[in-house]
Structure 1
């Protein structure tokens, strides 16, 4: 199958590389091995899919431009059976390529040439996010959200993640992700806000969320959401009528605080828009008369008013 293995043990953190360029593949092997992963390196989409199926990696890096099956198609196929954290690497810097990758199922992306320290920082940020679990997955997979300690020196301060590794799930911090936005002037804000229904559940207009159990349902029907979609939905619902900016939400998905040295690009903001658009489709929400996700033009998003 053309696979090389970084270490023999399979009880540690696993990572799969899908990259046709030998030099970049070797660089990725080195970066991920130093980060404490057992590395499985493949040179094409078919072998990469087989490796992900066989090794159930925590993280998969995926090249976009490969002969035969490209990265977009590989990502779609991986998402039919795997919840691996998927980082897409592309030499294309067009916005449409990035958005297409996110829509195909990527959790994050980097353009080539990339900085190894930034790749490590982004992967560690992904690992701090709780993982969505499907009914058929083994419970042991939940350990993916807690990375094992590494033996290498931490990255330089400029690229090191700013949020603590044991950060609580999005929504529990009162100020870390707070975004500037004008407060709602309506006197009925509190009545319009999502209501806590006990046992960790929050309900708003038939939508029920449980952040701790990472469950979502709408009018009694379970919602199949990705990790990113769930995190965004919880962030908006728990913020109630307070506006969450696109930059704020982009940083939240990285596990970083609002006051940070990291720069939020226009592509990062567009990625949030794509995820919110996908979320709206799954909710069946309307742009003109929203029940859950209200767009504040030029700023971001907030929870729509209550039906009551």
Structure 2
């Protein structure tokens, strides 16, 4: 069971999702606006935020950005169209995944459980130049300072580090990190790589650790 914060302005959708997610075993608190959602977040910390894009007042993108300034809390966006610019902007704002409306509660529940499972227990240290992954503590440091990675960013870094020097396609990464067993949206991968590079690379625009393999996907190259 997870403790969820649902931010959705449509009364019918919000009530329906509260009921459906409650039946799946989750505890849900909800808010109808972005401002109210952020206030709820200050009062109590959920395990995950389910966030609608179209909200009155501050929209879902801005809510996502404000959460990401200080927190690595998992976020799943609710968006109206899979091919919309909403998806790209949402992922670049820091969301971990998205679900397209009309929402099927079982699909949303599966995405929630997948995001919350994104940890890989292990007992070794991985050193990548000035970046060190402590796999037992699930902590990543750069130059001795802990990086604030979201669960998805951490899982992506771990999967790439497990296969150092190996080119992984976007579809492989979707399966490994997001557990999508179908031809999923490669924008999930690209946006997460972009956010991860901003944290682990010295010059994100000229990455030396997480390389793009043209026409394939990405490869982690350990420093010489």
TM > 0.5: yes
- Deviation string, structure 1 residues 90-141 (Cα, Å, up to 9, x no partner): 11433531121122222211111122211111111112123xxxxxxxxxxx
Show the counterpart of 1:25: 14
Gaps of 5+ in 1: 1-11, 131-168, 173-198
1:31–1:81 distance in 2 versus 1, CA, 3 Å: farther
C-alpha deviation, 1:79, in angstroms? 2.7
**Aligned equivalents of 2:204, 2:33: Cα separation in 1:** 40
Matched, 1:124 2:41: no
Gaps of 5+ in 2: none
C-alpha deviation, 1:298, in angstroms? 1.2
C-alpha deviation, 1:300, in angstroms? 1.2
Matched, 1:108 2:26: no
1:69–1:248 distance in 2 versus 1, CA, 3 Å: same
Determine which structure has more spread, i.e. the larger CA radius of gyration. 1
C-alpha deviation, 1:83, in angstroms? 4.0
C-alpha deviation, 1:13, in angstroms? 3.8
Any conservation in 1 of the 2:73–2:150 contact (CA below 8 Å)? no
- Matched ranges for 1:205-224 at <5 A: 205-224=129-148
Show the counterpart of 1:139: none
Q: 1:294 aligns with which of 211, 215, 224?
A: 211
1:45–1:235 distance in 2 versus 1, CA, 3 Å: same
Show the counterpart of 1:263: 182
Any conservation in 2 of the 1:285–1:293 contact (CA below 8 Å)? no
Show the counterpart of 1:154: none
Any conservation in 1 of the 2:115–2:152 contact (CA below 8 Å)? no
- Deviation string, structure 1 residues 8-34 (Cα, Å, up to 9, x no partner): xxxx74222111111111121112101
Q: Which runs of 4+ in 1 moved over 6 A?
A: none
Matched, 1:304 2:224: no
C-alpha deviation, 1:59, in angstroms? 2.3
Q: 1:245 aligns with which of 160, 169, 175?
A: 169
TM-score (norm 2): 0.88
Matched, 1:203 2:134: no
**Aligned equivalents of 1:203, 1:76: Cα separation in 2:** 30
Q: Which has the higher helix share?
A: 2
**Aligned equivalents of 2:158, 2:131: Cα separation in 1:** 11
Q: 1:227 aligns with which of 146, 151, 157?
A: 151
